[in-house]
Structure 1
Amino acid sequence: MRLPPICSLGLGVPAVLATQKVLGVGGKGNPLDDDFNKFAIDALGEFHVTGIAIAVVDGMESWAAGYGNATLPSSQNGDPIPVTPSTLFYCGSTTKAFTAATLSLMIDSGIYPSLSWQTPISTLIRDDFVLMDPYTWEQNHLTLEDALSHRTGFPRHDKSLGTFYGPDHHKATVRDLTRSLRWLPMVSEPRTKWRYCNLMFMVVSHAMQTLTGQWLGTTFRERIWAPLGMNSTYLSLEDALAGPEHLAGGYYWDYDAEVFETVSFSGLDEASGAGGVVSNVLDYTKWIRCLLNEATPLSKAGHEAIKTPRMAMSGNGKGYDSPMLYALAWQTSTYKGHRVYTHSGGMEAYGAEVYFLPDLGYGVVTLGNTALTSNYVGNILVWKLINDKLGIPESDRFDWAATAKQQLEDIVSSIDNAVERLYPDRADPPLPHLLALEAYTGTYFHPAYQNLTINLANGSETDIHRHNTKPRLRAVREDVVWQNTFDFEHVSGEFWVVFINMLKVPNGLNEEAAKAEFRVGATGRPEQLMIEFMEEGSEGVIEFEKIN
């Protein structure tokens, strides 16, 4: 994929993009004024974002606005539906904060006398939290706190998350996902390195449901959402669609055709406490105000617990005074001497950004409906508001827009240079693969990653980045939470690069590259496929056995 120059408003952007509505209470000057509205609309056009909602909390006052389209015209719907502050969006990993906060309430309740942040997970779900043989200590000692601060030693393993399990091919539950850990490798010693892991929040979700005997969405509503009046917040796609609010459609920008493409709604059962919330910015202002004021329903101890840093994150916090730390489902650092808490979220075609600054009594949330670039625009808008609030001169502001553009270029460069990056010492000229392409086709199985069925792709199945129409090996994985395609490119001998793209969002912005090796047995046929997934560093080598 080659990115064209970032376009300005009007190039492939629907005219209704300029539509916006503002709600406000209180007597302070509205930060979402005409100048900000123009800034927001320009950012949507520049980064190809369909629509975004934003809300600001400043002490006891709040403002909210919607820009662009919640739903674009289609054959079934002839008119666009604009974003309003009440529009619902998938909120992705901002869900994690509700999981940690709800667990704090369970700890405070006294109903579960042995429950604390240091409780080993295995004592709560002993039959389900089982790890590979080398990890006996970890199985017995990894705690709830470890899981909620991403310091367990497990990487993401997101591509192992299935939607069906067992001989009966039943719909996945968080228990099924938890039990898959027994076949997954760790990549570092516990408590030594920060590695983001959605699966561990699913494990905690399962533990919480086991303790309470009820669905996590019910617990969220009883303990947090109902007390805060968050009546437009859901942990179920079906409930969100049945509610009175409009759920924004999901989109991605096709950089080749220069059009928005529709992404179908995804179910949320598997995401659970890791990323299953659907809500709007109006409800999130109630949540932000609770966090700012250290208000009920959380206790003072609960507020302190979820905000206390547990691990240093990888790399430096761009634009911040100091490196980024991770608390319980919150990233935290300082900016111009003020403590900042933040977390982002992404669900295929949606992006969320939540920020709050306790010293200022100030918070901002953005929710958008375009893959990845919603988050870029969200950060650009949030930081303009924070800098305006603090009166920071333009010359002293971190350039979030330039950073976003560079990240887009880096994504493309990373994929274009994948062979060189993953195999710098490959044979030159490359050795031929031992067998004909057809011989490598078939189904390969791993107990956690499940079936990987490789076929010979024909010329009509074009590789999006290399426009490759030659016969090649390809797998389409639809029975996983993050549906994806695997395209194999030969490197040398039995070594390959696998280009992994999102099936529902195939514009390449979430594409990854993995190392792969076919192992041919004495029979002269492939018997194993070794893949090293590389999301945020190596995720360990996964061994697939050929089963047919």
Structure 2
Amino acid sequence: MLVLAILLGIAQLSWQFDPRQLLFTDASEASSTSPFDKGFDSLVEDTLAEWQTPGLAVAIVHGDDTWAKGYGYASLNGSRVTPHTLFNTGSTTKSFIASLVSILVDSNTTYKDITWNTPFSSLIRDDFVLPDAWATEHITLADALSHRTGMPRHDFSWLNAGPNVTVKDITRSMRYLPLHHEPRVEWEYCNIMFSAVSYALETVTGESTGDLLRDWLWRPMGMNQTFYDWSVAQACVRKDKDCELATPYIWNNHTQDYVPEAIATFPPATGAGGTISNVLDYTRWLRRLINGTAPLSPEGYRAITSPHSVMFAELPPYTGPVWYGYGLIMGIYRGLKVIQHSGSIGGYTSNMLVIPDKNWGVVTMQNTDSPAQSILWLKLMDDMLEVPKEERFDLDTLMREQRAGSAAAREARRHALYPDLPSIPIPPVLPLTRYEGNYSHPAYHNITILLNAPSHGAVVTPDGNSGLPLYGTSPTADLDTVVKLTHASGEHWIVDAYMGAWTRDYSDMMSRAQFEVAACGVAEMLGMQIEPEIEEYLWFV
């Protein structure tokens, strides 16, 4: 399901609300040839309502034509989505970072010694250090851009670092983070490696990533409402009436209401994400991904859209393997090559997709995590291809089945973490108050364990205080990161970690944890299985 989520731009699923009367608005100029007809408008209305999605913007390019439209609310204070509404576009940023590298590689003069296969060790040697010596010396720009370094996500390391974290800080933290695979063995999505690429770009050029994106890519393409810094985006809002930031929301299933994310606490741009833009600006990028035209060179376009890592041997709705290029995902749909990438962070979700052979592309942006945008762009793609109804990929039903089975899936996951628990759990050695305190890790930073649930936007789920819960928070964390520890047996606990307001009945990560209690009766270390696929615990002292 992880790979499907990356493909379809689904971060997490929210449900059980029908604000139908609130959500729908036409924010574009219609035309007789527009794909946004009354039937599609009605589908949008129903889809946003079913999946608790306040607002969505969509744009299509087909040949020389461009259509864009906004639906619903950019902010629940009443402002509506238009094609100019700004969203954080998350990991779609990766295609821009890869394109910067392509321009660097294209240079025959200033950066003539840099190729896709240049190792980080020759660019940022003192800062790029991994737990494995061979990986440190040999991992290249190409490895990082195609997610084949062996490093897993480790997202909580940079999300918990605070608002002043830099790409240099993120890069230097990797020496404390375990690899999951040998390099070049498996595709494994890793945001922090794109931070290393960003830092290498800054080191080599002497310019910030934001300036490089603006001067090398966005301005040449006329993407004048695309930004890499919240303050610059907010300046646009103040001076341009068409420039408005959508508010990101997370649906609270218990109170049946939305919780807004605080944009001010969002992580800084990290190379893996950080772009702020609108669907109209992104149509300019879609055309480059269709045609491979400037500022991309033919060689650079071929490089970023060629297969470098196999993501999955087979994954519907695609036929056959799905592969990763450099900052882009590709597959075959009904005999046609599709190029795409999604993005998601803290309530913002986006997806861009092109079919070069049809000279067609679509981009969607919305202000909550839900399948709504994916249901809609799949519909638009199938309409363009005139796919018979009975042959279409039924994402609606798949998502409803996932929703219906979510509680059972979570319970199965919990059982899998500790399949051999005693029928009567062994109580913790210490009173719960003795586990409270501050714990730290050199890469994952600080976490404060508390007996009482944090009050900042928190909701105690219906289990109340059952399971002897403890709560972990951080004063520097972005996106209101919260860790809930539910007692399993003895010093063993179940971790539910939330990135963003923890008001959902599902977590972003579920894994194991263990306290180390000294002979003197002090809880001196907390070990957490931060990456669920890695058995190794990371120890907070």
CA distance in 2, matches of 1:188, 1:331: 21
Q: Judge conservation of contact 1:66–1:83 (CA < 8 Å) in 2.
A: yes
Structure-2 change in CA distance of 1:24 and 1:122 (3 Å): farther
| TM-superposed deviation, 1:411 | 4.4
Q: 1:235 and 1:313 mapped to 2: Cα distance?
A: 28
CA distance in 1, matches of 2:85, 2:405: 32
Whole-Å Cα distance in 2 between the matches of residues 405 and 31 of structure 1?
A: 26
CA-atom RMSD in angstroms? 2.2
Number of residue pairs matched? 521
2:313–2:320 contact (8 Å) kept in structure 1: no
Q: Which residue of 1 aligns with 2:303?
A: 305
Measure how far apart 1:58 and its partner are: 0.6
Q: CA deviation at 1:266?
A: 4.5
Q: Which amino acid aligns with 2:287?
A: R
Greater displacement, 63-72 / 317-326: 317-326
Aligned CA distance change for structure 1 residues 510 and 22 (closer, same or farther; 3 Å): farther
How far apart, in 2, do the equivalents of 1:459 and 1:470 lie? Answer: 17
From 474, 480, 484, the equivalent of 1:483 is: 480
Does 2:26 align with 1:20?
yes
SS of the equivalent of 2:56 reads strand
CA gap 1:118/1:268 in 2 versus in 1, 3 angstroms: farther
Structure 1 distance, partners of 2:285, 2:174, is 32
| Greater relative contact order (Cα < 8 A, sep 6+) | 2
Distance in 2, matches of 1:70 and 1:162, equals 25
* Separation in structure 2 between the aligned mates of residue 496 and residue 140 of structure 1, nearest angstrom: 38
Structure 1 residues 467 and 511, CA, compared in 2 at 3 Å: closer, same or farther? Answer: farther
What is the one-letter code of the residue matched to 1:201? F
Q: Deviations over 1:104-139 (max 9, x none)?
A: 01111232121111000121111110122xx00000
> In the alignment, is residue 105 of structure 1 matched against residue 127 of structure 2?
no
Deviation of 1:520 after TM superposition, in Å, equals 1.9
Tell me how far apart the structure 1 counterparts of residues 310 and 14 of structure 2 sit (CA, whole Å). Answer: 36
Deviates further, 515-524 or 503-512:
503-512
The one-letter amino acid of 1:148's match is: L
Give the letter for the 2:439 counterpart: Y
Q: Distance in 1 between matches of 2:61 and 2:25?
A: 22
CA contact (8 A) 1:519 1:529 kept: yes
Runs of at least 5 residues in structure 1 that lack an aligned partner in the other structure: 74-79
Q: How far apart are residue 463 of structure 1 and its match?
A: 3.1
Structure 2 letter corresponding to 1:144: L
Structure-2 separation of matches of 1:500 and 1:163: 12
Q: Which residue in the other structure is 2:125 paired with?
A: 126
1:458 Cα deviation (Å)? Answer: 6.2
Question: Per the alignment, do residues 482 and 249 of structure 1 end up closer, same or farther by CA in structure 2, a change over 3 Å counting?
Answer: closer
CA distance in 2, matches of 1:476, 1:140: 36
Q: Which residue of 1 aligns with 2:166?
A: 173
**2:221 is equivalent to residue 228 of structure 1:** yes
Letter in 2 for 1:66: G
Q: Distance in 2 between matches of 1:172 and 1:4?
A: 30
The one of 442, 445, 455 aligned to 2:440:
445
Task: Tell me if the contact between 2:161 and 2:478 (Cα under 8 Å) persists in the aligned partners.
Answer: no
Alignment-mate amino acid for residue 414 of structure 2: V
1:400 is matched with which residue: 383, 395, 400?
395
Provide the rounded CA distance (Å) in 1 between the counterparts of 2:232 and 2:225.
10
Matched, 1:204 2:191: no
Decide whether the 8 Å contact of 2:57 with 2:68 is kept in 1: yes
Task: Report deviation, 1:234.
Answer: 0.3
Aligned to 1:278: 276
Q: Does 1:387 align with 2:369?
A: no
The residue type equivalent to 2:380 in the other structure is L
* Residue in structure 2 matched with residue 544 of structure 1 by the alignment: 540
Deviation at 1:23, TM superposition (A): 4.1
Q: Give the aligned residue type for 1:141.
A: H
- Deviation, 1:391, is 1.0
* 1:386-535 correspondence to structure 2 within 5 Å: 386-457=381-452, 463-464=460-461, 466-468=463-465, 472-535=469-532
Distance 1:418 1:317 in 2: 23
1:12 partner letter:
P
In structure 1, the residue matched to 2:150 is 153
Cα deviation 1:235-292 (Å, max 9, x = unaligned):
0011111112001111122222222222211456633321100000000000000111
CA distance in 2, matches of 1:326, 1:468: 44
Looking at structure 2, the residues matched to 407 and 224 of structure 1 have their Cα atoms a distance apart, in angstroms, of 39
> 1:392 is matched by which residue type in structure 2?
V
Query: In structure 1, what is the equivalent of residue 93 of structure 2?
Result: 95
Shift of 1:187: 0.8
Partners of 1:212 and 1:137 lie apart in 2 by 27
Secondary structure at the aligned position of 1:275 is classed as coil
Judged with a 3 Å threshold, the aligned counterparts in structure 2 of structure 1 residues 337 and 315 are, in CA distance, closer, same or farther, namely closer
Contact 1:186-1:540 at 8 Å conserved across structures: no
Whether the aligned pair in 1 keeps the contact of 2:56 and 2:70 (CA below 8 Å) is yes
Deviation at 1:419, TM superposition (A): 2.8
Deviations 1:349-389 (A, max 9, x none): 1100111111111110000011x11xx11111111111111
Sort the Cα spacing of 1:161 and 1:60 in 2 relative to 1 into closer, same or farther, 3 A: same
Q: 1:51 to 1:462 in 2, by over 3 A?
A: closer
Structure 1 counterpart of 2:209, from 216, 219, 225? 216
Aligned: 1:184 with 2:177 = yes
Question: Which contiguous aligned blocks of 4+ residues in structure 1 show a shift greater than 6 angstroms?
Answer: 458-461
SS at match of 2:271: helix
